[in-house]
Amino acid sequence: AQSVTQLGSHVSVSEGALVLLRCNYSSSVPPYLFWYVQYPNQGLQLLLKYTSAATLVKGINGFEAEFKKSETSFHLTKPSAHMSDAAEYFCAVGHSGGVADGLTFGKGTHLIIQP
């Protein structure tokens, strides 16, 4: 069975500082992984995805994530935080092989940007 752990329900960084959101997963098969962002009162929007190509994945809005198999991690980073990055971020692991591809989500990390 798959599971996702996001370390830190809330992360606060200063504007212009590095953003690091942590995600660890467990999966019994080679995983495919996603990061989604949710702005207030909106649905989830895909930031980036890993599907066994390059281990460093670039996404929208300057975010990127690195897949590290040995650490079972898929941490999300951005070199310089912007006020508009304030949102909820979800890591998800995909699992296929059943009747439909499903996703297991982490509990989310609320990113706060301090001016």
Partner 1 sequence: DVKVTQSSRYLVKRTGEKVFLECVQDMDHENMFWYRQDPGLGLRLIYFSYDVKMKEKGDIPEGYSVSREKKERFSLILESASTNQTSMYLCASSGPPRGEQYFGPGTRLTVT
Judged by the rule CB under 8 A, the positions of this chain that interact with partner 1 are 9, 32, 34, 36, 41-46, 49, 51, 90, 94, 96, 99-103, 105-108
* C-alpha closest to that of 78 among 61, 57, 96, 93: 61
Contact predicate 81/16, CB 8 Å: yes
- In the complex with partner 1, the residue whose CB is nearer, 30 or 115, is 30
Percentages helix, strand, coil for the chain (3-state, rounded to 5) are: 10, 55, 35
Q: How far is the CB of 95 from partner 1 (least distance, A)?
A: 10
- In the complex with partner 1, the residue whose CB is nearer, 25 or 90, is 90
- In the complex with partner 1, the residue whose CB is nearer, 14 or 45, is 45
